[in-house]
Amino acid sequence: YTAKATHSGHHVYRGTDDTHGEDRLHLLEELRLALVDDQLVMHYQPKIDLKTGDVCGVEALVRWNHPTRGLLQPDDFLGLVEESGLMHAMTEIVLRKALDQAATWTGQGRTLTMAVNMSPSSLIDTVLPERISAMLASRGLSPALLVLEITEDFLLSDRERARSILTRLQATGIRISIDDFGTGYSSLAYLRDLPIDELKLDKSFIIPMKDDPRATALVVSTIDMAHSLGLRMVAEGVEDTTAYSELIGFGCDVAQGFLMSHPVPAAELEDWFATRALDGSALGQVSG
């Protein structure tokens, strides 16, 4: 790894650069320290139920609050985490933080699903279902509140192993969502007999809807096919009110995107909840 300056002046880590032993060792030390020193923080982005306009859940997205480089985004450091073999440790931390937050909100009478992103390497952990069950039970949380967002590459690497892992996870009562759907090589036909609950259509389909009718056509047909397979459809990357209203018309179940809120710290999201409760027009009611 080498540290690279970005336009923002931050240094980011890219696994693709020439690796100099000393640099790599240094970055690895920083990352190890980040894990033990609690430098990872979770931001949360709300999801809106398009049938009711209510907030139905949040997605937990990790950031690294680096002591000198500022707040780093997942794209800046997940490669390093993966390549240094620390993904299991990071996933454990992320799950703990997200479930602690879910327990806090549940305790406040706020029923929200908590979605956590899982790398393929984390899912291979054979005791993951038991670990997650124990983490939920110790917080008194219903398994139905937890959604694991997984990507298509996990499904495609070894179909039978993926099926058995997902079956065990689903049997605990948690839900499985396919993230970035449409960007990989899997088809709905391929997903048909896998134990999954939800598809998240990638933002690269939603964002172009505003100026490309073909993008819209793909969104419409994907929603219809997902429903015919009994899957819930979530649209990510909802950035404008037109897309939001159109998705309601197309029967999409859930929307997530910058239009409603960027991913923000829990305290900021609580302010957003409060503002939204006061101002009935603050989205969800967009369709009128």
Q: Which residues contact ligand C2E (rule: CB under 6 A)?
A: 45, 61-62, 73-75, 78, 94, 117-119, 149, 179-180, 203, 236-239, 256-258, 263
Instruction: Please pick, from the candidates 76, 152, 179, 246, the single residue that binds Mg ion as defined by CB under 5 A.
Output: 179
Instruction: Please pick, from the candidates 91, 101, 117, 256, the single residue that binds Mg ion as defined by CB under 5 A.
Output: 117
φ, ψ for residue 285, nearest 5 deg: -105, 10
Using only C-alpha atoms, what is the Rg of the chain?
A: 19
Residue 198, interface with Mg ion (CB under 5 A)?
A: no
CB nearer to ligand C2E: pick between 178 and 191 = 178
Identify whether the C-beta of residue 42 lies closer than 8 Å to the C-beta of residue 101.
Answer: yes
Residue 172 CB, shortest distance to Mg ion, in Å, is 20
Q: How far apart are CA 137 and CA 190, in angstroms?
A: 33
Q: Which of residues 40-79 bind Mg ion (CB under 5 A)?
A: 73
Identify whether the C-beta of residue 128 lies closer than 8 Å to the C-beta of residue 169.
Answer: yes
Which one of 23-31, 44-52, 117-125, 265-273 is the stretch in contact with Mg ion (CB under 5 A)?
Answer: 117-125
Identify whether the C-beta of residue 237 lies closer than 8 Å to the C-beta of residue 206.
Answer: yes
Residue 235 CB, shortest distance to Mg ion, in Å, is 10
CB nearer to ligand C2E: pick between 48 and 238 = 238
Estimate the crossing angle of helix 87-107 against helix 21-36, to 10 degrees: 30
CB nearer to ligand C2E: pick between 94 and 231 = 94
CB nearer to ligand C2E: pick between 23 and 141 = 141
Identify whether the C-beta of residue 224 lies closer than 8 Å to the C-beta of residue 256.
Answer: no
The amino acid sitting at 215 is A
